[in-house]
Structure 1
Amino acid sequence: MNGAAAILKALEKQGVTTLFGHPGGTIMPTYDALYDSPIRHILVRHEQGGVHAATAYARASGKVGVVMATSGPGALNLVTGLQDALMDSTAVVAITGNVPQALIGTDAFQEADVCGITQPVTKHNFQIRDVRDIPRVIAEAFYIASTGRPGPVLVDVPKDVQLAPFTGSFDAEIDLPGYKPTFKGHPRQIERALEALEKARKPILMVGGGAQHASKEVVEFAEKSGIPVIPTLMGLGAFPGTHPQFLGMPGMHGSVAANRSIQYADTILAIGLRFDDRVTGKVSRFAPNAHTIIHVDIDPAEIGKLVNTAIPVVGDAKWVAAELAKGAKKLRLEEWWQEVDEWRTRHPFSWKPQPYLQSQEVIHAFWEATGGKAVVTSGVGQHQMFAAQFFKFDKPRSWINSGGLGTMGVGLPFAIGAALARPGETVIDFDGDGSFQMTLQELATVKKYNLPVKIVILNNGFLGMVRQWQDLFHAKRYSEVYLADSNPDFARLAEAYGIKGVTLEDKSRLAETVREVLEHDGPVLLECRVHHEEGVFPMIPSGGAAEDMIIENPRETVEAGD
């Protein structure tokens, strides 16, 4: 075989059954070998769609997502998705072709320094210069991507290496002396964490995306201790959204109960999160009463990076949570729960009835109709926050969105990756009219593979989140956010791709339309024409803290007063 066939054999050895990609000149030998490979290739319409789909495949399945692209523009179209995967700790391996080694550095056709360019947006990257290194490098790439804090790894393969004859073994031995992630947390640190929790009177448990694979252990610990639980945006689903100890997500658009519990907590146990700015707000005013913060993370660089940590525990969330559950005792929290329940009862996520269709009620209707049994993806914007607030996720790996990078356009390719990772399950993409149009060409991928995804576009005719900020903080100077005068008819656009399109504006037809969409055997695009001046609340202004939270939409309050 040649190097190209060796790449695919090495991928098979890693258990790869599905990969995403788009062919081109320098990766063509590998695509030629793919013709005879059992690996299923999903042809996307843009490399960015491919890397996003691979990301969602990884997050929905727990496996490594794989994407392939050609050199130059093909490889560079992966950059946004690689950074997205890096910030949200997702195991992705990207394989790119490159010009023959003799041409590297000569500004050859479709040449780019992909390793130099992607170094800051990957956990690690390789360029294979010798065909004999293919099995070892592929094995190391998967190992690095999937162990420790997961992240993207890029493998660049010049065309001459793909064409070179390969006669070696695929039994590669991984030997990375400088890479030894800590899996088991230190027993004494875990003991200290349990001791601190026993003394606490107002403790909370925060869980992030790093706890998605530790859901069973997190739930066991929470139920044994009786502690209030606050999953972050990326942690939704790691703890059931309908559980009586669930307080909702924290942060900029988090629940009143979650944010106030953080504000008044004396002890915080944080598992698998990184205390990013959308959670903490102004760090100096974050959790001012918490004298003890216990931070569990497999990446030691995250511990103490943003908040002062009294008890650091470096280790895998699943392993540490299991140990915490073994030693957990019922905590004395009756008075604390009375406070928490008052906030939760007085300020639930809700919306005020209006004569027009609202995003919140659309999302809630899909939650009710599915019983929460769905994998949900979203783009980035108001619709993303509404989905996080009003769709209750009871299962891990059921909510796939872009948290750290906030990448518009991910919703549709995420739905593609999720549908391929979880065949037979309902997959819903809640998207915005602005976000959706950044990657809408992937409707062709949905059609080609007849993926039964349900695309729900909440069309408010604006770049809604930007408009909301301009409304609140820029004196209503709506600069370059109006889309309604140039938006397409999304339902007819879907039909042009051969996908069923439905338009909804009359809220009296909401329930029957939701049923129609969910019962259709195949992909559907539903355009919901919602109110153009919606706002996502509660909201903590950028740079503010929990006490600065705007609980209700000021516009609605003024209208009610009028």
Structure 2
Amino acid sequence: MQLTGAQILMECLLEQGVDTVFGYPGGAVLNIYDALYEYRDKICHIRTAHEQGAAHAADGYARSTGKTGVCIATSGPGATNLVTGIATAYMDSIPMVAITGNVSCALLGLDSFQEVDITGITMPVTKHNFLVKHIEDLADTIRKAFLIAGTGRKGPVLVDIPKDVTAQKYEYIPHAPLPAPKGDFPYDERFEQALTMLKKSERPFIYSGGGVIASEASGELKKFADLLDAPVASSLMCQGGFDQTDPRYIGMLGMHGTNTSALAIKNCDLLIAIGTRFSDRVLCNADLFAQHCPIIQIDIDTAEFNKNIEVDLKMKGDAKEILARLNQLLPQCQHKGWLEQIAEWKDLYPLEQMAESEGEVLPQEVIETLDRLTDSKAIIVTEVGQHQMWAAQFYRFRTPRHFISSGGLGTMGYGLGAAIGAQVANPDQRVINLAGDGSFHMNCNELATLAQYNIPVIELVFNNRVLGMVRQWQKLFYQNRFSQTTLDSATNFEMLAQAFGIKAFAISRREEIEPVLKEALAYQGPSLINCHISPDINVLPMVPAGSSVEEPILEM
């Protein structure tokens, strides 16, 4: 049947199971938005306040569901406003298809109004991108985009479509989603090597990364940890990939990881790294990281082997499949003494914030109360900063896809858009975005989106009137020269929320924590909690740049 390019795009989105897109209209995508009007009963469109919010919403949708998120923007500034969100998804391997409009083909390359080379701009931060100049290529390009975004090491793909291509007509032939290509799998010899190393180990240590969640390997990881009888630490991106109430769990590893994890990496005799790229925030100093023990690395991407650190055994492939095979081969191991030592360290070095004055609001108590009131089942989204680390430290994530945060790029302003995407994708879940006042000022415009669509996200702002994480570094390494990190903003957050049509709450004293959280959780619409905390509460433990991850600072 003959359809316009815009209608073909809609049909291809439906082929891929897309039910929601996030975006902002403009001249170059008028035909696409006209088709969205026609298909409004089949595809829900959420118009965010800014294109960057749309990209983050598509990202949050993807992280919370495992499906590929979709965002749409017009040409020029609309397209460039997506770039930070695309880069955020790229750094964390999140499947996303970003669709941009462009000027008509005859105007490309002429510096036309609202024209940019968005495929050139996004080449470093996409798995692949396409410029569709011919309508006969459109349907197959959209199908390829989803296949690339959602298979292998997942990531964002951009499809740029000139306006005239969306207006032209062409024969549309329905097509089922393309089958995923078969991925690599280690040779039997690699499994034999792994088994020899695992059986020989007396103090094994499992470190799990975001690839565990991406490959849906949480069940296999749990079985592997039980068979190996080993403790498990996680990266920031693997929060919830292993049940944090499990006695084997010892917290994050890295710059703001637990001291138990630091001692475990210092004393283990084998490190098994699963679905992690060994980022600098984990290694801290690659020359000092796990030099005393062999390392097995399981990862889907060849580029991650020996990139940041040398490993002894590389096992390339999907983490779920490799762990399933190891679980078939590995006999039950016993490391009672090692686990008793781990338990002793956990008791000796708990994560604990100390109040300096009576009634002081501590982020730890706020987050732990939130955890208790939500039975550890809420979807917790974060901005980037101290509150991000506190969320990872003090909320007990028990299942995958309940912690949503920008890890690799560290994007301030990410959380509220991502929370919108997560809440739209999971209407029956409670979604809370934890923010700092610095991040909140970057994206408070998206409160308008919450109000317009009555999206019941709770925006919990830890308001310390400073850029807390940067200030913490200035305190430690710049002799308290707090250059441009003291905000002391005159913004009244409660009144601002009310101006957008959002219900507002405030927490100023310790005794207000539980009743305010209970009221906000009971409220059926979007809300904001302005939670006042001291600017001098720090994220600890902390490993200074260039130091060994095995020697964190425990107090300051």
Instruction: Name the TM-score class by shorter chain.
Output: over 0.9
C-alpha distance after superposition, 1:524-548 (max 9, x if no partner): 1001001121100000001111243
Paired position in structure 2 for 1:455:
459
**Do the aligned residues in 1 keep the contact of 2:12 with 2:143 (CA within 8 Å)?**
yes
- Residue aligning to 2:239: 236
1:321-346, CA deviations, whole angstroms, 9 ceiling, x for partnerless residues?
11122223232312222322222111
Shift of 1:76: 0.4
Letter in 2 for 1:53: A
Look up the equivalent residue of 1:157 and give its one-letter code.
I
Q: Which of structure 1's runs of 4+ aligned residues deviate more than 4 A?
A: 172-175
Change (3 A) 1:183 1:53: farther
Match of 1:43 in 2: 47
Confirm whether residue 526 of structure 1 aligns to residue 529 of structure 2. yes
Q: Deviations over 1:339-382 (max 9, x none)?
A: 22222111111112442112121111101111101100000000
Matches within 5 A, 1:106-125: 106-125=110-129
d(CA) in 2 for partners of 1:157 and 1:151? 20
Q: CA deviation at 1:100?
A: 0.4
The corresponding residue for 2:204 is 203
CA distance, structure 1, for counterparts of residue 98 and residue 550 of structure 2: 43
Q: Which amino acid aligns with 2:25?
A: P
Q: Give the drift of 1:19.
A: 0.5
CA gap 1:172/1:515 in 2 versus in 1, 3 angstroms:
closer
* Aligned partners of 1:211 and 1:235 also within 8 Å: yes
Residue 74 of structure 1 aligns with an amino acid whose one-letter code is: G
Match for residue 262 of structure 2?
259
Give yes or no for the alignment of 1:136 onto 2:140. Answer: yes
What is the Cα deviation at residue 306 of structure 1? 1.3
Structure 1 spans left out of the alignment, 5+ residues: 555-562
Q: Answer whether contact 2:543 2:552 (CA < 8 A) is retained.
A: yes
1:173 is displaced (CA, Å) by: 8.5
Contact 2:95 2:150 in 1 (8 A): yes
Which residue identity lines up with residue 140 of structure 2 in the other structure?
A: R
Given the alignment, which residue of 402, 405, 412 partners 1:401? 405
CA distance in 2, matches of 1:505, 1:377: 22
Is 1:550 aligned with 2:553?
yes
Match of 1:81 among 80, 85, 96: 85
Of 286, 290, 303 in structure 2, the residue corresponding to residue 287 of structure 1 is 290
User: 3-state SS of the aligned residue for 2:435?
Assistant: strand
**1:165 pairs with 2:172:** no
Shift in alpha-carbon separation, 1:149–1:104, aligned structure 2, 3 A:
same
Whole-Å separation in 2 of the counterparts to 1:267 and 1:450: 50
Give the Cα–Cα distance (whole angstroms) in 2 for the partners of residues 189 and 18 of structure 1. 42
1:132/1:168 contact within 8 Å kept: no
Inter-CA distance 531–184: structure 2 relative to 1 (3 Å threshold): same
Q: Distance in 2 between matches of 1:398 and 1:125?
A: 29
- Report the 3-state secondary structure (helix = DSSP H, G, I; strand = E; otherwise coil) of the residue aligned with 2:237: coil
Answering whether residue 16 of structure 2 is matched by residue 14 of structure 1, we say yes
**In the TM superposition, what are the counterparts of 1:305-344 in structure 2 within 5 Å?**
305-344=307-346
Aligned residue for 1:187?
A: 188
Are 2:479 and 1:475 equivalent residues in the alignment? Answer: yes
Cα distance 1:547–1:227, how it changes in 2: closer, same or farther (>3 A)? closer
Shift of 1:487: 4.1
Q: How big is the shift at 1:94? A: 0.2
| Structure 1 partner of 2:250 | 247
In the other structure, the counterpart of 1:57 is: 61
Distance across 2 between alignment mates of 1:410 and 1:329: 44
The share of aligned pairs that are identical, in percent, is: 44
Task: Determine helix, strand or coil for the equivalent of 2:361.
Answer: coil
Q: CA deviation at 1:317?
A: 1.1
- Counterpart Cα distance in 1 of 2:250 and 2:166: 53
Distance 1:358 1:365, change over 3 A: same
Report deviation, 1:262. Answer: 1.2
Q: Is the 8 A contact 1:201 1:266 kept in 2?
A: yes
Q: Report the RMSD for the aligned CA atoms in angstroms.
A: 1.4
1:303 alignment counterpart = 305
- 1:547–1:271: structure 2 CA closer, same or farther, 3 Å change rule? closer
Distance in structure 2 (CA, Å) of the matches to 1:14 and 1:220: 33
Q: What is the SS of the residue equivalent to 1:548? A: coil
Among 220, 224, 229, the alignment partner of 1:226 is: 229
Q: Deviations over 1:197-254 (max 9, x none)?
A: 1101111111111101111111111122211101111011000011010000100000
Q: In structure 1, what residue type is equivalent to 2:533?
A: V
- Is residue 27 of structure 2 the alignment partner of residue 25 of structure 1? yes
Which range moved further: 361-370 or 345-354? 345-354
8 Å contact from structure 2 (residues 76, 102) kept in 1: yes
SS in 2 for 1:407: coil
Q: Is residue 541–residue 548 contact of structure 1 (8 Å, CA) maintained in 2?
A: no
3-state SS in 1 of match to 2:323: helix
Q: Letter of the 2:192 partner, please give it.
A: E
Cα distance in structure 2, aligned partners of 1:280 and 1:410: 25
Contact map agreement 1:21 1:41 (CA 8 A) in 2 = yes
**Paired letter, 2:259:** V
When residues 487 and 274 of structure 1 are mapped into structure 2, their CA distance, relative to the original with a 3 A threshold, is farther
Residue-by-residue CA offset, 1:256-312 (whole Å, 9 max, x unaligned): 01122112221111111100000011001001221x211111111111111111111
SS at match of 1:111: coil
Which residue pairs with 1:560 in the alignment? none
SS state at 1:35 partner: helix
1: distance between equivalents of 2:512 and 2:284? 40
Q: Which range is displaced more, 242-251 or 332-341?
A: 332-341
| Secondary structure at 1:125 match in 2 | strand
**In the alignment, which residue of structure 2 is the partner of 1:557?**
none
CA shift at 1:509, angstroms? Answer: 1.6
Q: Is the 8 A contact 1:185 1:319 kept in 2?
A: no
Tell me, in whole angstroms, the C-alpha distance in 2 between the residues paired with 1:487 and 1:386: 25
CA contact (8 A) 1:19 1:41 kept: yes
